Amino acid sequence: MPARYRAHTRAYVWRALYWHNCSRDARSLWKRLDRLLVNDSWMERWPDTTYVSLSARTSDHSPLVLRGDTSTRSTGMFRFDNYLARTTEFIPSVCSIWRHHIVGSAMYAITRKLKALKPIFRAQRKRKGDLSTNVSLAKGFLDSAQTVGRGQALPYPITSG
């Protein structure tokens, strides 16, 4: 087989995810799910890539997050929660920052305005409650519920929506 068609599995980070056929006899079967396969060209171009498998939420497959070179990470990110746009204070707070004229390139002006909005959005999130904590608690509950008994039906249904 030509080298460009050979498949390699990439380094896996976090927890091992397997599928089980729920059989308790000789037919019991465990299979590794959600692998990332790359070819030689990928290995030459991005040798240090790894991936993380997130918890499965609605199926027995898990989302994969590909991680590249960690040395090129930026110092911070702009966090925006969509629910903030539905509040009455959203438009006035954005307008109060956006109407200022900033000297420099367009990208520099946008960056400065977004940095000025960070503390405003942070304060609004704080008043609304910590969304990330609430989401983390919900994910933790779901993870616990999915791992109870591994292969046994839960005593209650999990519904979406």
Structural domain for 127, as ranges:
78-149
- Per-residue confidence band for 71, with pLDDT thresholds at 50, 70 and 90: low
**Do 59 and 11 belong together in one domain?**
yes
Name the residue type at position 150.
Answer: R
SS (H, E, C) 137-148: HHHHHHHHHHHC
Statement: residue 94 has pLDDT above 90: yes
Domain count, the chain: 2
Q: What is the pLDDT of residue 17?
A: 52
> Domain end: 68, 89, 109, which one?
68
**Whole-angstrom distance, CA of residue 137 vs CA of residue 89:** 27
| Residue 154 in domain | no
- Of 74, 70, 62, the residue nearest 16 (C-alpha): 62
**Cα–Cα distance between 128 and 122 in angstroms, integer?**
10
| The pLDDT of residue 13 | 47
**Angle at CA 82, nearest 5°, toward 77 and 88?**
115
One domain for residues 57 and 99: no
Q: 115 in a domain, yes or no?
A: yes
What's the average model confidence in pLDDT over 48-65? 73
User: Across the chain, where does the E strand assignment appear?
Assistant: 8-9, 11-13, 18-20, 30-32, 37-38, 50-53, 64-67
Of 49, 68, 87, the one marking the end of a domain is 68
- 144 and 88, same structural domain? yes
Say if residue 82's pLDDT is above 90: no
The per-residue pLDDT for range 120-134, each reduced to its tens digit, is 988 888 887 776 777
- Grade residue 156 by pLDDT with cuts at 50, 70 and 90: low
